[in-house]
């Protein structure tokens, strides 16, 4: 057993294609004791809960967590700040499944599994939407009738923990105008002024904005109406098309995995890559417009940090933007979870 003087946080970061876990000792800055990544792909939420046994095995010999922090993709209309999890929070997360059916059921299953394994350990919800909660009305409001806005239909924005981590890493080097491009299996671009989000590419759900690995990103809504009206697709089939069968996977007919596409010689794989790169550049340009000019662009996420070809394409695509510095920084979502969980415990 390793002795740890302060709090010990188990950070659980469930995404659309992986589950990351990390055990952190938190004094002033979190220190990773042990961690790992489990590839989950399209497993459903109840099935993903079985991975908790794998996590518990990895934690043997390490201190028992004093608090468990969860990345929660969508806070819904009633949760815009990180918080301790209780019955009221769980009820709101159940309701938020309507906004993020790809992610929220997984998080709920992990919360229940964590409670079963550590019944007396408090749990904290860290919302990806919280970073964007203060966006101005021009960014937050969607162009639909007001009666739907009253039910919580608005732009929420996502990858907030990743954005928080970039702001923290920049510290005193924070520019007035910052664009953060989180590029991974899910991808979004955010405009940050003086450390605060003022606009972002994703909207009501994590399906909008940039073309992604398997998600459409922004698309003419008439396409979806046409598919419903003329091809016999029902809502369930359409939801699967939007989130699981489109994006780079749909265009290439091969895969949404950047590594697979880079290694392919087929024309449609190349087209998918070029479309992704163009989509990212267009969203970055849109965020620069929202800011009225930007000083720094940060590329982060699995693709942003590791795929050099994407980085080159973005630099070339934005070469017309004067004075834009482009940096690559790691997305430290798990560190943010550890910090918030320790503070709220």
Q: Model confidence over 133-169: pLDDT tens digits?
A: 999 999 999 999 999 998 999 999 999 999 999 999 9
What is the CB neighbour count within 10 angstroms for residue 250? 19
Dist. CA 83–CA 284, nearest whole Å:
31
Q: Which residues contact 78 (CB under 8 A, 6 or more apart)?
A: 92
Helices in 150-266 by DSSP H: which ranges? 160-170, 221-230, 235-244, 247-252, 258-262
- Give the right CATH number for 174-328 from 3.40.50.300, 3.80.30.20, 3.30.420.40, 3.40.190.10: 3.30.420.40
Dist. CA 177–CA 280, nearest whole Å:
18
For the entire predicted model, the pTM comes to: 0.94
The number of CA neighbours under 13 Å toward the Cβ of 131 is 33
Beta bridge pairs of residue 240: none
Q: Model confidence over 212-227: pLDDT tens digits?
A: 999 999 999 999 999 9
pLDDT (0 to 100) of residue 41: 60
Q: Where do you find CATH 3.30.420.40 in the chain?
A: 7-153+334-344, 174-328
Q: Say if residue 182's pLDDT is above 60.
A: yes
pLDDT (0 to 100) of residue 103: 84
Active site residues: 128
pLDDT (0 to 100) of residue 290: 98
Dist. CA 110–CA 146, nearest whole Å:
35
Q: Model confidence over 63-120: pLDDT tens digits?
A: 999 999 999 999 999 999 999 999 999 999 999 998 888 789 889 989 999 999 999 9
What is the CB neighbour count within 10 angstroms for residue 239? 14
Q: Model confidence over 14-70: pLDDT tens digits?
A: 876 678 999 999 988 899 999 999 887 654 445 556 788 889 899 999 999 999 999
Q: Model confidence over 284-337: pLDDT tens digits?
A: 999 999 999 999 999 999 999 999 999 999 999 999 999 999 999 999 999 999
CA 41 to chain centroid: 15
Q: Write down the CATH number for the domain with range 7-153+334-344.
A: 3.30.420.40
Q: State whether residue 127 is helix, strand or coil.
A: strand
Dist. CA 260–CA 180, nearest whole Å:
25
263 burial (CB, 10 Å; 0-12 / 13-18 / 19+) is exposed
pLDDT band at 6 (very low <50, low <70, confident <90, very high): low
pLDDT (0 to 100) of residue 43: 47
């Amino acid at each position: 057993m390793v002795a740890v003087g302060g709090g010990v946080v188990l950070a659980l970061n469930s995404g659309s294609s992986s589950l990351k876990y990390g055990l952190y000792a938190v004094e002033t800055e979190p220190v990773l004791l042990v961690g790992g990544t489990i590839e989950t792909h399209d497993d459903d939420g109840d099935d993903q809960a079985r991975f908790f046994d794998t996590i518990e095995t990895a934690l043997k010999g390490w201190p028992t967590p004093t608090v468990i922090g969860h990345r929660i993709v969508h806070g819904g209309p009633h949760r815009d700040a990180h918080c301790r999890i209780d019955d009221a929070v769980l009820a709101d997360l159940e309701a938020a499944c309507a906004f993020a059916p790809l992610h929220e059921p997984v998080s709920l299953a992990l919360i229940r599994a964590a409670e079963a394994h550590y019944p007396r350990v408090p749990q904290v919800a860290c919302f990806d939407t919280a970073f964007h909660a203060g966006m101005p009305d021009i960014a937050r409001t969607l162009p639909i009738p007001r009666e739907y806005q009253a039910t919580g239909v608005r732009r929420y924005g996502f990858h907030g923990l990743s954005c928080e981590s970039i702001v923290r890493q920049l510290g005193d080097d924070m520019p007035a105008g910052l664009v953060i491009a989180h590029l991974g299996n899910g991808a979004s671009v955010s405009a940050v002024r003086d450390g605060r989000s003022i606009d972002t590419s994703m909207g009501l759900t994590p399906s909008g904005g940039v073309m992604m690995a398997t998600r459409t990103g922004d698309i003419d809504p008439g396409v979806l109406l046409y598919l419903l009206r003329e091809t016999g697709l029902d809502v369930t089939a359409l939801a699967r098309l939007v989130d699981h069968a489109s994006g780079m996977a749909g265009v290439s007919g091969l895969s949404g995995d950047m590594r697979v596409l880079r290694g392919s010689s087929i024309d449609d794989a190349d087209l998918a890559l070029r479309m992704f790169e163009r989509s990212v550049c267009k969203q970055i340009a849109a965020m620069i417009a929202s800011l009225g000019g930007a000083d720094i662009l940060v590329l982060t996420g699995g693709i942003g940090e590791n795929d050099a070809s994407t980085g080159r394409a973005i630099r070339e695509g934005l070469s017309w933007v004067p004075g834009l510095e482009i940096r690559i920084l790691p997305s430290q979502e798990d560190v943010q979870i550890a910090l918030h969980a320790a503070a709220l415990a």
